[in-house]
Chains A and B, each alone.
Chain A
């Protein structure tokens, strides 16, 4: 009775809003009772045993749509189709957008097909006065959100229910705003985002309004129907229910994962942007997630959030952001889905694969040789790979994958490469230090990646790598042997960071003070490292450096290296070195910055403190 009254109230409000006399069509927005009641009526969909992939094919054979049975590893059907808007599947039908020949339907059309054969059941043209924002299926009912031109020159949002088998209009509901987005539908409930902060809920059978969600802290740019519930959000995920009817990040039903900087942290595409409903780069760069409910509170399934970044897949601990596994595909994955049991993806080269969410092991693979896949959608909630294959699959080796990402000549992923370098640096083992050193010397490594590799090398404080540092330092630049100079600046910082442990390699380090290719910045780091390691045997090299360059005009503008060398000499040297520094400070040809610094430094340090013979 109460539910019926609530629905009636909502209907009246909507009607008044349409009549232009209601104060606001969103007066009940955020009402927890309304939303809880609506959601409780939403029955979880039958998960069934579907294991379907819908593949949008291109290539020489022309544009086609194919249905592929993952379990049977075979193509069920292929139909000519120029698919634009993503495929959505229902109980016995599927729907997609396609181009149509103007002037009949200049904005394209929605096409309904038989799920078993792919045969066209109906076509729903989008008129020139209409703009399609998206559709959703629930069973064999299709819900379409459009923005339409009204007679008075204005525009309005419209939600329409179509019969999935015939395309016949079941009902139509005017939306209270023209700022609308693509819908989601689950178990008799239709959700439509509006005005960026509302999610309007409608009865799927009648179109009657049944509730309104108000997102107070972040935009609601998507709605998503999953077996575990109805969700909305943008930079986080809200499980729709009483406590998120007025959604804030403090709501128990709110989830967000800790993800690295390279990830575009949106949990679905922007449903307000019709162009994002089409197969595009959006499908190749996204966060994959599923949840489990613990006492009604959502948690990321297994505590993991997944990132699909073109050719790469990553699993992160949602709470800590720690990388769990990384997988690299040889070619771009054009689409992906987290079914809960596996991470499914299709590549542009016609490969279909599944990864174990817990380990990243490749537990399924199939291919369509010779095909070019432009996009894909999955209806594979029931798909489970063969146990034998799954058991035999080996998880990808994280270090090798990260190394492959860094070395990849593909220039599209600078931020990802930086992440890979950073993650590589976090891995343990001598081989990682070796790899970081290789990155530092490889001319193909991007400058930013080299910088990051240097930071990671220094931060590792790998005392077991001193022999590696020594070898690297001894590989002096040689034009004859086509050898570039070693990354002395970084090596100096890495050795300096080790403190006295690093002293055994300081002879090899100080040798670079006397090499022509050592840049001033590296010389400064060498001097600092000699101090950090307590290299009391090194004043000779410092003296040579200081004498040779003290009046070099190169250091006029930036005497940092000379200052660092003089500071090191002051700390590591003895009385005679102080005398040298005094001479350098007083000699008029010495660069001004060094003279000034030394005059002050010598004044500040009492000669009595320098007792070293």
Chain B
């Protein structure tokens, strides 16, 4: 992965510096740059955010920007939260400034969370500068910052952020891997399956749910075969998540439930119970009966 350039040619950062130092009335350096160079792929973001944007006046955004770059960390954190909740693409601008100039961890964390919120609200333009900044911080030495950057990146629908998410599956920190895995599962990114399976094979509990969400039927026996090589509970949890999927054929579901039934530990019992709970009470499924039978055999019957 090549390092992204937040400060292309240095000009943008120089302008940001001017913004920071001159404080009031600073020119919208990043907005100008993003407008000139950035590519907005999610046109719907503007439309979706438009009503809320109208509710956050420019003066308020400027005020939040001042707080964001001011000396008070607490005020900056609050400002970031407000901008994240603003639901307007224009809120990204001052947030991006913080990432561009760099700052203390608490501030950067708040800004990344704000980006994630904007993204989840579909109020974040997939501006190249934003993607570059988030990608850069996804490689920060602090695992917590990486995890937050991954979540923020994942909130962007841009297909090319997938590469960074896939890369973060190889992160040394379990929390970062889990965040990347969940994000990829949410994006239905099947390219992630081999790496997710590799992680599961290494006993990485944090990727089980993501793998269960993306796994194809042919992968299920391979997951089951991991029993005994990694913690049975991880296998049980993964298979338990898998059987809850609505697209799983009933026959396969019964097989998987039986596999879970053969696994040791409380997680296997929980997986069976959770499956039972996930099936509507009135629905009569063979797999439901099988799960109940397996639970009874384990001494954990609910009837």
Q: Point out residues on A near B: beta carbons under 8 Å.
A: 476-483, 507, 510-511, 513-518, 539-541, 543-544, 546-554, 573-574, 576-577, 579-580, 582-583, 586-589
> Which A residues touch B14, using CB under 8 A?
576, 579-580, 583
Which residues of B approach A to under 8 Å, CB–CB?
Answer: 1-11, 13-14, 17, 20-21, 71, 100-105, 136-137, 139-143, 146, 169-172, 177, 195, 198-199, 202
Give, as a whole number of angstroms, the nearest-CB distance from A50 to chain B: 63
Taking the closest CB of chain A, its distance from the CB of B129, in whole angstroms, is 12
Q: A478-B170, A544-B5, A551-B102 given. 5 additional CB < 8 A pairs?
A: A476-B170, A477-B172, A516-B139, A517-B172, A580-B13
Taking the closest CB of chain B, its distance from the CB of A479, in whole angstroms, is 5
Cβ–Cβ contact A552 & B3, under 8 A: no
- By a CB distance below 8 angstroms, the chain A residues around B202 are 479-480, 482
Q: How far does the alpha carbon of A596 sit from the alpha carbon of B139 in the complex, in Å?
A: 27
Instruction: Answer whether A547 and B102 are a contact pair too, CB < 8 Å, given A540-B7, A540-B8, A580-B7.
Output: yes
A484 and chain B: residue at smallest CB distance: B172
Given A479-B172, A516-B172, A587-B20, are A551 and B1 neighbors across the interface (CB < 8 Å)?
no
- Neighbouring A residues of B102 by C-beta, 8 Å: 546-551
Do the beta carbons of B170 and A481 come within 8 Å of each other? yes
Roughly how many angstroms separate A516 CA and B104 CA in the complex, as a whole number? 17
B10 touches A539 (CB 8 A): yes
Query: Quick one: given A477-B172, A514-B3, A580-B17, are A547 and B100 in contact (CB under 8 Å)?
Result: yes
Give the residue among B6, B7, B199 with the most A Cβ atoms within 10 A. Answer: B7
Q: Are A480 and B1 in contact (CB under 8 A)?
A: no
B104 with A479: CB separation less than 8 A: no
A576 adjacent to B3 (CB under 8 Å): no
Residue of B nearest to A515 (CB): B139
Residue of A nearest to B170 (CB): A478
Cβ B13 vs Cβ A514 within 8 A: no
Which one of A480, A547, A548, A573 contacts B169 once the chains associate, using CB atoms below 8 Å?
A480
A543 and B10: CB pair below 8 A?
yes
Counting from the closest, the 6 A-B pairs by CB-CB distance are A514-B3, A478-B170, A576-B10, A583-B17, A547-B102, A480-B170
Residues in chain A near residue B171, CB distance under 8 A: 479, 516
- Evaluate whether A544 and B136 lie within 8 angstroms (CB atoms) in the complex, with A480-B199, A580-B10 already known: yes
Q: Report yes or no: A507 in contact with B101, Cβ–Cβ below 8 A.
A: no
B270 CB to closest chain A CB (Å) equals 27
Q: Which residue on A lies nearest to B138, using beta carbons?
A: A516
Select from chain B the residue with minimum beta-carbon distance to A543.
B7
Q: Is the CB of A544 within 8 A of B3?
A: yes
8 Å CB contact of A543 from B13, B169, B172: B13
B13 and A547 within 8 A (CB): yes
With both chains docked as a complex, state the minimum distance between the C-beta of B172 and any C-beta of chain A, in angstroms: 5
**Cβ of B248 to closest chain A Cβ, rounded Å:** 26
**With A544-B7, A551-B102 given, is the CB distance from A511 to B71 under 8 Å?**
no
Q: Which B residues are in CB contact (< 8 Å) with A543?
A: 5-7, 10, 13
Q: Which of chain B's residues have a CB closer than 8 A to the CB of A576?
A: 9-11, 13-14
Q: List 23 A-B contacts (CB under 8 A).
A: A476-B170, A479-B170, A479-B202, A480-B177, A483-B170, A514-B139, A515-B139, A516-B143, A516-B172, A540-B5, A540-B7, A540-B10, A541-B5, A543-B6, A543-B13, A548-B137, A551-B103, A551-B104, A552-B141, A552-B142, A573-B10, A580-B17, A583-B21
Q: How far is the CA of A479 from the CA of B1 in the complex (A)?
A: 15
Q: Which residues of B contact A550 (CB under 8 A)?
A: 102
B195 to chain A, nearest CB (A): 5
Interface centre among A480, A541, A553, by most chain B C-beta atoms within 10 angstroms, is A480
In whole angstroms, how far apart are the Cα atoms of A546 and B20 in the complex?
17
Q: Is the Cβ of A516 less than 8 Å from the Cβ of B21? A: no
B177: chain A residues within 8 A (beta carbon): 479-480
Q: With a CB–CB cut-off of 8 A, which chain A residues contact B137?
A: 548
- Chain A residues positioned under 8 Å from B146 (CB to CB): 516
Listed residue (B9, B10, B101) with the most chain A CB atoms within 10 angstroms of its CB: B10
* Contact yes or no, B1 A547, CB < 8 A: no
Contacts of B3 in A (CB 8 A): 510-511, 513-514, 540-541, 544
Within the complex, the shortest CB–CB distance from A450 to chain B, in Å, comes to 20
Residue of A nearest to B5 (CB): A540
B198 engages A481 (CB within 8 Å): yes
CA distance A577 to B10 in the complex (A): 6
Q: Is the CB of B4 within 8 A of A544?
A: yes
A550, B10: Cα distance in complex, Å: 16
| Residue among A483, A507, A573 making CB contact with B2, cutoff 8 Å | A507
Residues of B within 8 A of A574 (CB): 10
In the bound assembly, the distance between CA atoms of A539 and B146 in angstroms comes to: 23
Taking a contact as CB atoms under 8 Å apart, the answer to whether B20 and A547 are in contact is no
A514 to B202, CA, bound (A): 26
A553 vs B146: C-alpha distance when bound (angstroms): 17
CA distance A544 to B129 in the complex (A): 13
Q: State how many angstroms separate the Cβ of A309 from the closest Cβ of chain B.
A: 39
Please, which residue of chain A has its CB at the minimum distance from the CB of B194? A480
* CA of A507 to CA of B2, assembled, Å: 8
Cα–Cα distance between A586 and B18 once the two chains are bound (Å): 12
Closest to B207 in A: A480
A510–B7 alpha-carbon span in the complex (Å)? 15
Contact, CB under 8 Å: B9 / A476: no
Q: Tell me, rounded to whole Å, the shortest Cβ–Cβ distance linking A575 to chain B.
A: 8
CB distance from B198 to the nearest CB of A (A): 5
- Cα separation A146 to B171 with both chains bound (whole Å): 71
Determine how close the nearest CB of chain A comes to the CB of B226; give it in whole angstroms.
15
Assess A587 versus B198: contact at CB under 8 Å? Given A510-B3, A547-B7.
Answer: no
Whether B172 and A589, one on each chain, are in contact in the complex, defined by CB atoms closer than 8 angstroms, is: no
How far is it, in angstroms, between the C-alpha of A8 and the C-alpha of B203 when the chains are bound? 89
Residues of A within 8 A of B104 (CB): 551, 553, 589
| Across-interface contacts of B2 in A (CB, < 8 A) | 507, 511, 514
Cα separation A550 to B20 with both chains bound (whole Å): 15
Most chain B Cβ neighbours within 10 Å, of A482, A510, A539, A547: A547
Q: In the complex, which residues of chain B have a beta carbon less than 8 angstroms from the beta carbon of A481?
A: 170, 198
Least CB separation from B17: chain A residue: A583
Name the B residues within 8 Å of A513 (CB-CB). 3
**Please, which residues of chain B bring their CB within 8 A of the CB of A539?**
10
Interchain CB contact (< 8 A) of A511 among B1, B9, B100: B1
CB-CB under 8 A from B139, the residues of chain A are 514-516
Contact of B141 (CB < 8 Å), options: A479, A551, A554, A582:
A554
Closest Cβ–Cβ distance, residue A456 to chain B (whole Å):
29
Q: From B146, B170, B177, B198, name the one whose CB has the most chain A CB atoms within 10 angstroms.
A: B170
In the complex formed, the residue of B with least CB distance to A538 is B3
Residues in chain A near residue B141, CB distance under 8 A:
516, 518, 549, 552, 554
Whether B71 pairs with A588 at a CB distance below 8 angstroms is: yes
Q: How far is the CB of B10 from chain A (nearest CB, A)?
A: 4
CA distance A439 to B2 in the complex (A): 26
